[in-house]
Amino acid sequence: MARRKKNLTNGDVNKLRLVVFGATAAVFGVITVILLPTGYFGPLSARVRGLFVRHTRTGNPLVNIVKSQPATKCAV
């Protein structure tokens, strides 16, 4: 709708999108940089960290997580 009113070409619309998304990303980046040192996000859990570590045991992060947990005794 605004495109027709202002006679914007495809290139102009793409430039506008780039500016808007770039500004939004910059704002989120600044907020993240400010909040990171305060500990707002907290440490990653062992399961999440396991997804980013190279998996040398089985090659499957989910299997590695389950294999590394101690077995529990079942009361019969």
- How do the domains of the chain map onto residue ranges? 1-39, 43-70
This prediction has a pTM of 0.52
Annotate the chain with DSSP letters as a single string: -HHHHHT--HHHHHHHHHHHHHHHHHHHHHHHHHHGGGTSS-PPPHHHHHHHS---SSS-HHHHHHHHSPP-PPP-
Mark the ranges of the chain whose per-residue pLDDT is less than 70: 1-2, 54-62, 64-76
Kindly give, in sequence order, each residue whose CB lies less than 8 Å from that of residue 8, ignoring residues fewer than 6 positions away: 2, 16
pLDDT for the residue numbered 48: 76
In sign, the C-alpha dihedral spanning 42, 43, 46, 50 is positive
